[in-house]
Structure 1
Amino acid sequence: MNIDAIRAAAKRIDGQARRTPLLSSPFLDEIAGRRVLIKPECLQHTGSFKFRGAWSAVSNLGDNARKAGVIAFSSGNHAQGVALAAASHGTTAVIIMPDDAPTLKIENTKALGAEVILYDRENTNREALGAEIANSRGLTLIKPFDNADVIAGQGTVGLEIAEDAKALGITHADVTVCCGGGGLTSGIATALAADAPDMVTRPVEPAGFDDVARSQASGQIEKNPSQSGSICDAILTQQAGDLTFPIIKELCGPAIVVTDDEALKAMAHAFERLKVVAEPGGAVGLAAALFHPDALNHDTVIAVISGGNVDAPMFARALATLT
C-alpha cells in the first residue's frame, strides 16, 4: 500500500462518496482537556466509512469479474457498503453475516439488494465459508480489510483529514481511529504519513479485543480468544490482516483500549453536543479522545466516528448514560 494507490482510489470515488467535515464542540474540548475534532464517517453513504473501500474495490474490478458478481463477509458495515457499490455498478452481491449482527444491519443489507447468508460467529470460519461460496459461484471475494483496493479507499479518509486540518492551521495531532482488522487504520496512517507527517494515527480497540495493542507489543499478529462479548460488533475481528498489520506496525502510535461503557458515553456526548449518531464500535475513537487523556501526546485530537448503524435499543442505552 502506498499513497499513489490511495490517490487513485480518491479519483475513483470522487462524486460517489461523501466528503465528511471536521466538526467541533467546546463542550467536548472541555471533557477531553484539549481540542477535539470529529470526522463523522457515520454521515457517509450506508452510515459508515466502509462505502469508500467497497466502491474503490468494486470499481477497480475487470468487466468480467464485476459482471459475475461479488461476495463479502461482514458484521454489517462492509456488508452494506459492498451491497450498495455492487448495485450501483449493476451487479450482484452475496454477503455472509454473523447471525448475531444487529437486525438493522442485516435488514439494510437485504434492502440494498444483496443476498444475505447468516453464520455462527463463534463456530464458523467466515473466511473459509466465503472462499467456498466464491469458488462455487465464480464470485470475487472482497474482504473487509485485507484487500489492497479496500485499504486504499479507506485511506481517502486520511487525505481529507490532512487537507481539512491544514486549512484550520493544524499540523500536529493524535488521530484516533477505531480498529478491527485495520483497514481504516492502515489506510489513514498511510495517507497521513504522506500528507500530514506530524500527525500520529492511533488505533483504538474495545477491551477484551485488543489484538492490535498486543501485536504492537510482540511485533507479530496476535489473535483475540473470542469473536463476541462486546457491544462494539463492528470491530470484533479475530486479528489484524496480513496486509494491514505491517502498516500499523510501521506507521501507527500505540493502540488505546476503551471499555464498552466508555463507548456508550462517547455515543451520548456525540449526540448531545453535535447531534451525531454513532454506533458503539464507531465511537471508540471519540471515547479514547474524551476519556484517555494520558494516552495522547498532542494538544489536538482528531477522532474518526467510523459508523452510525445502531439499533434503537442500543442507542437508548447510550443516551441513558447522560442521566
Structure 2
Amino acid sequence: MSDTALDITETKENDATDYVARAGHYPAEVKDYVALLKPRVMSLVVFSGMAGLLVAPGEMHPLLAAVAILCIAVGSGAAGAINMWYDRDIDLVMARTKERPIPAGKMNPDEALSFGVVLSFASVFLMAVAVNYAAAALLAGAILFYVFIYTMWLKRSTPQNIVIGGAAGAFPPMIGWAAVTGDVSWEPIVLFSLIFLWTPPHFWALALFRCKDYAKAGVPMLPVVSGEEATKKQMLFYTLTLFPIAAAPTFLGFAGWIYFTVSLALNLVFLAAAVAVMREDGEKTEYKQAKRMFGFSILYLFMLFAVLVMDSPNTLWG
C-alpha cells in the first residue's frame, strides 16, 4: 500500500470531524440525498432487475412488480449511500468523487450512514412482506455483499477488488426473477454471470484513464498494482468469456434467435473495443480508446437486456 493510503487512514477521524464542521455551513438539500443514491448506477441496476422480472416464467400483479422494482432501486441506493459514508476519505482525494455530498461538506457523514441503513432495512422489509422471502433474502445479500465484502474489505485490499466485488452488481436480475418465481434456477444464474463477467472490463476501462486518481487515493486497482499491459490482457480475457455466457439465454430457451444475433454483434463490437485498448498507447492518446470502451460497455449491457426482454417467450409480447 502506498504512503498516501497510509496517510489517508491515519487522518480519517480528523477528516470526518472536518466534514461535520463544514456540513453545518452547507445543510444538505434534496439533491444531495439523491446524489447519495448513485442514480446513474441505480439506473442500470433497476433496468437489469426489471429485465430479470420480465423474462421470468409466471405471472405477477403489476402493482407487486412495481413494488419489487422499487425495492431493488431503494436497496441499491441505500448501499451506495453507505459506500459514500465509508469511502469519504478517499472520495476527498479523488478528482472524480471529491464533489460528492460528504467530501464537499454538504452532509454530515453520520446523517448519510443513517439514511443508508434505514433505506436498506426498509427495502428488504417491504420486499419480504409484499413480494416474497426469496427476493428479500437476495436483496439483503446484495446490500451486505456490496457494503461489507466490496466496500469495507476488497476495495482497499486487493487488485481483484472489482472482480469479486462485481458480484454485488450482478444480483438484480436474480432478485427480479425470484420476485416472480420465488426461487432461483439456472436462467437467473446465467444473467448473474453475465453482469459478473462484464464488470471487470467495464470498470478497468475506467480505471485505466483514472489510474493516477486511484493511485493518489491509495486504492489498489489493477492498473495501479499490475500496470497497463496486465490490465489490458485481463480486459481482453473477460471480454472473450462474455461470448458463451451472453449466448446462453437462447440455448436455455428463455430468449430467441434475434437476441442471439444481437448479442453476438454486441460482443464482437465489445471485443473490437478491447483490442483497440490493447493497441493503444494511453499516455499519448489520453486513453481515448479506454474511454470509448467504458462508454460502450454501459450501452452494451442496456441493449443486451433490452433485446432479451423483447425476444423472450416469457414476456407479455413473447
TM range (shorter): under 0.3
Structure ranking higher in strand proportion: 1
State the structure with more CA Rg. 2
The structure richer in helix per residue is: 2
TM superposition score normalised by structure 1 = 0.27
